Amino acid sequence: MSIIFALLLAGNQTAPMVVVDEADTVQEGPAPHGKIGQSTAWRISDAVPSPRSFEFRKRQLHVGAAIGIHPIDHDEIYYVLSGTGTVHSDGEERELRSGMAAWLYSGASVGIRQTGDVPLVLIIAYPNRPQR
């Protein structure tokens, strides 16, 4: 954390910006919501101090991996950077490829699985609930 950023936080002021290098946020492990295969996660917004209004993540689903079907209580966006996948929302499935986005609605049960011969790389964004 830079000294200027630390001083702004100490003075209870908002920092003008936070710049995050994804390389500092990378984690390897099972895919979330069911541990179906392996994934690489870049939990980019975790490096931003709270309060923050939304989460911003990058995830690579390795070949055969999936984010298992799970309920959401907020809107969520999956944006495909590379690879192909099948997104699921309340029983409906659609194919996604690079440059496509799926907007998933609060109250739905959602998930996505990697398809094809190369990993599926996604940006995932959703609102952050205020800390109580």
Each of the 132 residues of the chain gets a pLDDT tens digit; together they read 444 444 455 555 667 889 999 999 999 999 999 999 999 999 999 999 888 899 999 999 999 999 999 999 999 999 999 999 999 999 999 999 999 999 999 999 999 999 999 999 999 999 987 544
Model pTM?
0.85
Residue-wise pLDDT tens digits, 17-43: 899 999 999 999 999 999 999 999 999
- The residues near 44 (Cβ < 8 Å, ≥ 6 apart) are 20, 22, 25, 56, 57, 58
Domain residue ranges of the chain, discontinuous segments joined by +: 22-127
DSSP tally for the chain: helices H, then strands E = 1, 10
Domain covering 22-127: architecture: Sandwich (2.60)
